[in-house]
Amino acid sequence: QRRVRGMVKLDLVATMTGHKGQVWSVDWSPTSKTLASSGQDKTIKLWRQEGTEWFCVATLEGGNTRTIRQIAWSPCGRKLATASFDSTTCIWEYSDGEWELAATLEGHENEVKGVSWSRDGDYLATCSRDKSVWVWEVVEDDYECASVLQVHSQDVKKVVWHPTDPLLFSASYDDSVKVYKEFGDDWECADSLCGHSSTVWSLSFNKSGDKFVSCSDDRTLRVWCRDENKTTKYTCKSTVCGFHSRPIYDVSWGRHGYIATAAGDNAVRIFEHQGGSLLLAHFQPDAHSGDVNCVSWKGSLLASASDDETVKIWTLDT
């Protein structure tokens, strides 16, 4: 379905340099207008606006020894978790005006590709090239492995918690999305969502959690809707193709309803969910001079990260 609306645009606010090598991940603090970024240089950088300019206000290093593939803020905004190619997850904590390395979680046998906090901060999920998803229980400052889920047959690229319910979703190189829920004292796979014909790179929920969008190496987006009266069952209601000429590496569904994509064609696209499908609302060609690896919304601000070693901030003009 190739439907174009063309009603909004992106204005470039800032281009931030400082990372050396690919920038893999950007994530906004849930409690402030602070942006975190991470990448090939094994560092986390924190960016904040002062006046009309954006500045790097902190660089966190020394936790991971290889690429930091993803970063995630805790719901309280005082912790940052990393997913690193060194097979570990580092937890950084803000206390007394400083960031300190509070914990290093070990257990994965290979590169950690994704990390995500549950909405209440009581759980942390990680996923790896070792095909497993780990659920960690957070008790004060202790992180205990609550479950090791080995359901995928290939590299697991992303883990995402449901925005309102205690459900965990994972996306994989095996072309599927898995859904997990707690049964008694353990976590189990409750559903397997198939439809993509290649690697599922990422997924993102709408505000209420009754829908999510997934993106893939097959250059399509799929919109999944929750079945009535079935808390874990989602069905693909729409497949959006023909807009991306290269793999779609990330997707972010903003609280305002607009969906941003990051792709291997250096572009950022904005879609609007309408009538059960997605309409292309804006196309930003050459948003970066390399693959766009990650996008993240904070209100009308959109952050993007790229192989071109930069982080960019855009504002959505509706």
Query: 8: burial class by Cβ within 10 Å (0-12, 13-18, 19+)?
Result: middle
For 133, the token pair is: 């998803």
Predicted local confidence at residue 141, as pLDDT: 85
Predicted local confidence at residue 6, as pLDDT: 61
8 A C-beta contact, residue 199 and residue 172 = yes
Predicted local confidence at residue 1, as pLDDT: 47
For 159, the token pair is: 């883990």
Predicted local confidence at residue 228, as pLDDT: 79
Contacts 24+ apart (CB under 8 A), 80-83: 80/36, 80/44, 81/115, 81/117, 81/124, 82/38, 82/44, 82/115, 83/112, 83/113, 83/114, 83/115, 83/126, 83/127
Predicted local confidence at residue 276, as pLDDT: 83
Tens of pLDDT, residue by residue over 172-219, are 999 999 999 999 889 999 999 999 999 999 999 999 999 999 999 999
Tens of pLDDT, residue by residue over 12-40, are 999 999 999 999 999 999 999 999 999 99
Tens of pLDDT, residue by residue over 39-74, are 999 999 999 999 999 999 999 999 999 999 999 999
What pTM did the predictor assign?
Answer: 0.96
Query: How many of the other CB atoms lie within 10 Å of CB of 259?
Result: 24
Tens of pLDDT, residue by residue over 117-152, are 999 999 999 999 999 999 999 998 899 999 999 999
Confidence class for position 3, pLDDT limits 50, 70, 90: low
Predicted local confidence at residue 209, as pLDDT: 94
Tens of pLDDT, residue by residue over 251-303, are 999 999 999 999 999 999 999 998 888 999 999 999 999 999 999 999 999 99
